[in-house]
Amino acid sequence: MSVVVVGSLNMDIVMLVDQMPIIGETLLGEDVRYFYGGKGANQAVAASKMNVPVKMVGKVGDDTFGDKLLLHMGMTQVAMSEVKREAGTRTGTAAIIKLPEDNAIIVLPGANQKITSEDVSEQVLDEANVLLVQLEIPLTTVAETLHRAKEKGVKTILNPAPYHPDVIELIKDVDYITPNEAEFARMMGHEEEDVTDVEADMLAWSKEHTTRLLVTRGGAGVSYVEAGQIKTVAAPTVQVADTTGAGDTFNGIFAAGLDQDVDFEIAVKQAVYGASLAVTKMGAQTAMPTKKQLTKFMTE
């Protein structure tokens, strides 16, 4: 298998609202929808839609959501032999408040917190060309898996979301790190409310680390450092329907590009355009483009 994704599988419960309630306030929503999600599963599906072999390593609970996730993922192109059930545990669940232009998310990890490095077999890593991980599973599992993969010469990608203050300790085993602007600010030691110069921070960070930094910037696209200068791949203008899973789409398509040995700049551009296309539809996995759809979109 070419791309191995070690990460979370969740059921997403999406409530559509006009505004966020304040503490103590009750609002009437417009609708509720159920989607298959989890950063790990989302990124695995995004990569597989680029027609590369993908294997998922993760866990679900022994509940109805677990049944539905296994049935759904079994119908994708993602190899699911390494996804196990955790007895007596609930499947990971995400409550998503969908606003007209953005969203807010609360994740209950459930079975995702039971994933250990031992669940990632030597054979799986031996077959990997690219390893993609996130932080909806235990940090120790991520750290140990990255280290083992790095020793085998596997290309490693870390999407540091949701942010963890110890993420910097993982850098030595990471080839590419893909924070959004808020996560990168935390990586640099800034408080959330600080106003920062993202590009100046990127230049400073890149002087201290060999890990390739890509900062996802929403509608502005993705920026990285090349020969001591900031380069930004701008996102095309689209009609936004739902931003859920945009970052996961970027990471999955970028991993697929690395697996196919696509030129770095082209891999980033494909991932940016794929994420832009995904936000024009509702849901995460259901909105992710196929390779054919992405090629058509980029051509047009």
Q: Which residues contact 176 (CB under 8 A, 6 or more apart)?
A: 155, 156, 157, 158, 211, 212, 214, 254, 258
CB 155 within 8 A of CB 253: no
Tokens of 2: 């070419």
CA gap 38, 179 in Å, rounded? 17
Q: To 10 degrees, what angle do helices 39-48 and 246-259 make?
A: 50
CA dihedral sign of residues 151, 152, 155, 159 = negative
248 catalytic, yes or no?
A: yes
CB 165 within 8 A of CB 192: no
CA gap 142, 121 in Å, rounded? 14
Give Cα separations from 195 to 59, 108, 181, 293 (angstroms).
38, 30, 11, 38
CA gap 93, 102 in Å, rounded? 19
- 3-state secondary structure (DSSP) of residue 232: strand
For the chain, count helices (H), then strands (E): 9, 13
Give the residues across from 84 on adjacent strands: 59
How far is CA 282 from its chain centroid? 17
Question: Which residue of the set 126, 248, 261, 263 is catalytic?
Answer: 248
- 3-state secondary structure (DSSP) of residue 276: helix
CB 42 within 8 A of CB 248: yes
CA gap 256, 250 in Å, rounded? 10
Q: Which residues are catalytic?
A: 248
